[in-house]
Amino acid sequence: MKLITSFSPSRLPSQLNALETWKQHDFDIEAIQCCGEIYALDIVPNITWVEPNTWWSKKTPSIVDLIDVSEPALLVNSDIEIRTFNPASWQPESNVLKIGLRTDYNTNHKQVNKYGIDVFLLLPEMKEHLRNPLWALGIPGWDYWLVWKLHKVGYRIQSITDGIFHGDHKEQWEVTDHQRCLKLLEFEFNQSVESISNGLLDLTDRRYLSNRRLKP
């Protein structure tokens, strides 16, 4: 199966660790990188170069560039470890968005993350619904937008948690990025971010989880 990601110049050791877990499953790995990010040449050979989305505080590819697939493919955040992978669970199904929910961990604790979504099984027909060029990989709320958009046009959401892990780390984005995300979500869906968040918790059966961050 094809796996699509985009590597960041920060926290490279965590991304390289994730990459090693992907290689265990023989994924066809493709990186979508912004022009000029030559560090990626030392990570994977298969790279597609795109113009960066400049609306946010950091240079990152637009979602429309990442989802332009001609066959089913996994879209995975670059620091997400896939320690086990059951191909049967990730078989494409018509009108179904399969998503992976991560387990955060540090040296002392681990717990399923209550809010984030980090793995997506993309189908070619999904891209007609995901055309907003402002959304970019990794920014606050991009995962909410992608899932909620497909849910609103009738896709069934199926959550998978097995084998998906993420080393806990500090927030990487500016306050202004979070503020823009909130406005974008509320404008596009004409509903509050709280109602979207609660809807996603219900769709992924995560209301019961603690929202506390891991502590060392």
Per-residue model confidence as pLDDT tens digits over 103-156: 988 877 788 888 889 999 999 999 999 999 999 998 889 999 999 999 999 999
The rounded distance, in Å, linking the Cα atoms of 201 and 195 is 10
Residue 45 domain-assigned (yes or no): yes
Cβ distance 120 to 99 under 8 Å? yes
Residue 123 domain-assigned (yes or no): yes
Confidence at residue 216, expressed as pLDDT on a 0 to 100 scale: 44
Mean pLDDT of 178-206: 94
Per-residue model confidence as pLDDT tens digits over 55-104: 888 889 999 999 999 999 999 999 999 999 999 999 999 999 999 999 98
CATH number of domain containing 177: 3.90.550.10
Residue 164 domain-assigned (yes or no): yes
Tokens, residue 16:
């390289």
Range of the domain at 191: 2-203
* Domains of the chain: total: 1
- What is the pLDDT confidence band of residue 212, given thresholds at 50, 70 and 90? low
Residue 214 domain-assigned (yes or no): no
The rounded distance, in Å, linking the Cα atoms of 112 and 70 is 32
Residue 209 domain-assigned (yes or no): no
